[in-house]
Structure 1
Amino acid sequence: MRWRIDLRYDGTGFHGWARQDGLRTVQGDFESALRTVLRAEQAPTVTCAGRTDTGVHARGQVAHVDLDTTMTARELLRRLNGVLPQDVSVTAVAEAPDGFDARFSALFRRYVYRICDDPVGWDPLRRQEVLRVGRALDTDRMNAASQALLGEHDFAAFCRKREGASTVRALRDFSWVRVAPGRLEGTVIADAFCHSMVRALVGSIVPVGDGRREVDWPASVLTARVRDSAVAVLPAHGLTLEEVRYPADDQVAARAVETRQVRGEVHRRG
């Protein structure tokens, strides 16, 4: 049976989601917990919606796993949380609808990057999830620059290129709001993201906000389609995967097929 598992984690102590030999990762810890709960000889493979980078947090991660077990969803959730470390928590377990794929059935992923730009607004208790910067930021300028990046583009200028992987993505939303004095949140929504893409996008907008760059600079970087050393990839701790959205249960299988086809076509186009 395929299960959908919703989870959250503090990424501070992890080298990202993906399993790596000799390094602590979310996937590694989670699969180890499943092995313990199931008393299995081998850990089952877990597939997630978004493979977060080293140090990135998640409040709305989604994964799927195929298990041969008589446990109920409630029992599986309780037992997993009983053995997982305190920086990982399962929030929901359910039997997945037919054809569900945590990665390919997703409609979009929503990330939020949190920044403090005023010492008065700095909360030391949130230092592991908020980036502190030394200059005041202008959200109007940041929003103007961000809006120019929306749509389907080749985001090679903001991605770490991987062999055989496309850098074409559809950016649906990129917007900034001041949530409290000295505190900003940047929301970034896309069908999917390349490695380090969100932190590079934000890294191109912050210098616009503090006046070091013109509003049209991020768009010019995008058009160049090559990595620009002037674009800083901001620290991971300010970034959180907040949500993964899926279609209705009777449409998840078709969505997974569609996504695989689109990704294949994009890859062939280069």
Structure 2
Amino acid sequence: MVRLRIDLGYDGFSFNGWAAQPGMRTVQGEVEAALERVLCGVRPADVAHADGRTPLPHLVVAGRTDAGVHAAHQVCHLDVTEAQLARCVGHMDATPVQALELRLQRMMPGDIAIHRVSVAPEGFDARFSAFERTYVYRICDDPAAWDPRQQSYVWLTDQRLDESVMNEAAACAIGLHDFGSFAIANPGGTTIRDVKTAYWSRVPARPLIADPRGERYRTPAMESGLLCFTIVADAFARNMVRSLVNGCVQVGLGKRTVDWFAEKIATPLREGSTGPIAPEGLTLEHIEYPEDGELAERAEKIRARRTLPEQPAA
């Protein structure tokens, strides 16, 4: 078998999330359907199960995104036989991997982009080998500056947000915590995660056209003025990023205090005030992996159930 790494991006607006679900349009469903046609459509008997059924391609993803959430850079892996891969070439003047990449790119709908298909290094697991994931949540809090082209990837509010106190709240999330107030654990899993970076920043308002004779008119760059939350962690539990954003927004609106947010971090109890904000503002921006020689070790380590270090007795 050959393990392939697939780097891709997608606009999540019309998808019911990443994970395949019967009767629903999902990113995994679209990509796996294309892979099935390319890899299994010529001579499926060569890759059949012992009982004669043809196995469908199965993608393992770095991080499942919810309905409406986007990915500028997502990573998944796929195991295929050398015979399947070789059949991708056809009449192309390309290697099997290059041929598969080109065929997938041509088959994808407009809201999915296949960036690269490559042979994965030894020990690579798209999900368990990753050691950092970066998300950005984008907000427009100035209706006068709203660009309707942003409606699928920016959340709009007509109330100005106080980014200073939002940054105070976000700082409380940095470190190893049980995010049970802001996330839902998978079966058998935990909500313990290690957040490396979390902060709010506003995109500088800059003109699109720089003229040495002076600014003749103001046409801002498309994202000028947006308020963005950037968070980097080893992994994220379900609804974790959007719930943290919602908590920060409540603080930024003056409805909650930084002390309230800090207490929710310290006391992992899920309740109504810490639910997720709308999905459209959230984008998975990057997945980081260790050096090739450390991939298998990282995957083995992350499979272990996480725990918090014991606190010294008072």
Scaled by the length of structure 1, the TM-score of the pair is 0.94
Whose strand proportion is higher, 1 or 2?
1
Q: Contact 2:75/2:126 (CA < 8 Å) preserved in 1?
A: yes
- 3-state SS, counterpart of residue 174 of structure 1: strand
Q: Contact 2:192/2:306 (CA < 8 Å) preserved in 1?
A: no
Question: Displacement of 1:265 after TM fit?
Answer: 4.8
Whole-angstrom CA distance in 2 between matches of 1:142 and 1:121: 21
Partner of 1:125 in structure 2?
149
Among all aligned residue pairs of Structure 1 and Structure 2, give the percentage whose two residues are the same amino acid.
44
**1:44–1:88: structure 2 CA closer, same or farther, 3 Å change rule?**
same
The AA in structure 1 aligned to 2:127 is R
The AA in structure 2 aligned to 1:244 is I
Whole-angstrom CA distance in 2 between matches of 1:134 and 1:232: 20
Whole-angstrom CA distance in 1 between matches of 2:302 and 2:72: 24
Q: Root-mean-square deviation (CA), in Å?
A: 1.6
- 3-state SS, counterpart of residue 157 of structure 1: coil
Whole-angstrom CA distance in 2 between matches of 1:128 and 1:114: 11
- 3-state SS, counterpart of residue 207 of structure 1: helix
- 3-state SS, counterpart of residue 203 of structure 1: helix
Whole-angstrom CA distance in 1 between matches of 2:178 and 2:198: 16
Unaligned stretches of 5+ in structure 1?
none
Partner of 1:174 in structure 2?
198
Partner of 1:266 in structure 2?
307
Unaligned stretches of 5+ in structure 2?
45-53, 89-95, 206-224
Partner of 1:22 in structure 2?
23
Q: Contact 1:171/1:189 (CA < 8 Å) preserved in 2?
A: yes
Q: Contact 1:56/1:239 (CA < 8 Å) preserved in 2?
A: yes
Question: Displacement of 1:43 after TM fit?
Answer: 2.2
Whole-angstrom CA distance in 1 between matches of 2:147 and 2:260: 31
**Residues 135-146 of structure 1: matches in 2 within 5 Å?**
135-146=159-170
**Residues 187-202 of structure 1: matches in 2 within 5 Å?**
187-202=230-245
**Residues 27-66 of structure 1: matches in 2 within 5 Å?**
27-38=28-39, 39=41, 40=44, 41-66=54-79
The 10-residue stretch of structure 1 (46-55 or 210-219) with the greater mean CA deviation from structure 2: 210-219
Partner of 1:158 in structure 2?
182
Highest Rg: 1 or 2?
2
The AA in structure 1 aligned to 2:193 is R
Question: Displacement of 1:224 after TM fit?
Answer: 2.3
- Superimposed CA distance per residue, residues 189-248 of structure 1 (whole angstroms, 9 cap, x where no aligned partner): 111111111000000001211222212221111222111212241111110000000011
Whole-angstrom CA distance in 1 between matches of 2:284 and 2:102: 23
- 3-state SS, counterpart of residue 301 of structure 2: helix
Q: Contact 1:4/1:96 (CA < 8 Å) preserved in 2?
A: yes
Q: Contact 1:109/1:190 (CA < 8 Å) preserved in 2?
A: yes
The AA in structure 2 aligned to 1:11 is G
- Superimposed CA distance per residue, residues 71-91 of structure 1 (whole angstroms, 9 cap, x where no aligned partner): 422211110011111111110
Runs of 4 or more above 3 Å deviation: none
**1:185–1:240: structure 2 CA closer, same or farther, 3 Å change rule?**
same
Question: Displacement of 1:161 after TM fit?
Answer: 3.9
Q: Contact 2:174/2:196 (CA < 8 Å) preserved in 1?
A: yes
Q: Contact 2:182/2:275 (CA < 8 Å) preserved in 1?
A: no
1:13 lines up with 2:14 in the alignment: yes
Scaled by the length of structure 2, the TM-score of the pair is 0.81
Whole-angstrom CA distance in 1 between matches of 2:127 and 2:16: 20
- Superimposed CA distance per residue, residues 139-169 of structure 1 (whole angstroms, 9 cap, x where no aligned partner): 1111111101211111110012443221111
Q: Contact 2:10/2:72 (CA < 8 Å) preserved in 1?
A: yes
Whole-angstrom CA distance in 2 between matches of 1:265 and 1:237: 30
- 3-state SS, counterpart of residue 266 of structure 1: coil
Whole-angstrom CA distance in 2 between matches of 1:54 and 1:134: 24
